[in-house]
């Protein structure tokens, strides 16, 4: 008569896998979406898409307080049109404001706090500049 052996570990409770340390949640663009990440991108109660954009807003808000710029706006939409006038898309500028230039002239400045420049962004920027006769400053 042969003795039957139980396979190793048979009859025991299965071992629970060890949990990996928690990493911050990230968006598809690598932005930290955890509470701490959102707190780092929040300025004056506004949540910005990136730390770079939040830092630029801080700078512009200080300039506005000092009177160097006026009419600061965030997330300004520009509707993009085909030659026949049909709306084909939208470009959203991070900031728009007015700044006094040489000889007392005031100019409207459009800014984008840009990290990676995707092909779609490049096309929208070029289209917006042509349609609205404005220059978009990348900071």
Q: What is the mean pLDDT of residues 33-50?
A: 81
Domain boundaries, the chain: 35-138
Residue by residue, DSSP assigns 24-56 as PPB-TTS-B-SHHHHHHTEETTEEPSSHHHHHH
pLDDT tens digits for 85-117?
Answer: 999 999 999 999 999 988 888 999 999 998 889
The pLDDT value recorded for residue 37 is 76
pTM across the whole model? 0.74
For the chain, the average pLDDT equals: 86
Q: What is the mean pLDDT of residues 36-50?
A: 82
19 pLDDT band (50/70/90 cuts)? low
64 pLDDT band (50/70/90 cuts)? very high
Return the C-alpha torsion angle 121, 70, 87, 122, nearest 10: -10
- For residue 63 the two structure tokens come to 């300039």
Backbone angles phi and psi of 75, in degrees to 5: 50, 65
């Amino acid at each position: 008569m042969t003795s039957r052996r139980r396979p190793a570990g048979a009859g025991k409770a299965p071992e629970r896998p060890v949990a990996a340390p928690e990493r911050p949640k990230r968006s598809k663009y690598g932005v930290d979406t955890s509470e701490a990440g959102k707190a780092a991108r929040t300025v004056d109660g506004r949540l910005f898409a990136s730390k770079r954009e939040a830092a630029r807003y801080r700078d512009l808000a200080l300039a506005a307080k000092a009177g160097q710029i006026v009419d600061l706006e965030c997330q300004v939409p520009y509707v993009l049109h085909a030659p026949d006038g049909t709306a084909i898309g939208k470009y959203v500028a991070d900031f728009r404001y007015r700044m006094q230039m040489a000889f007392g002239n005031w100019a409207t400045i459009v800014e984008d706090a840009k990290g990676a420049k995707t092909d779609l962004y490049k096309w929208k920027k070029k289209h917006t500049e042509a349609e609205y006769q404005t220059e978009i400053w990348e900071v």
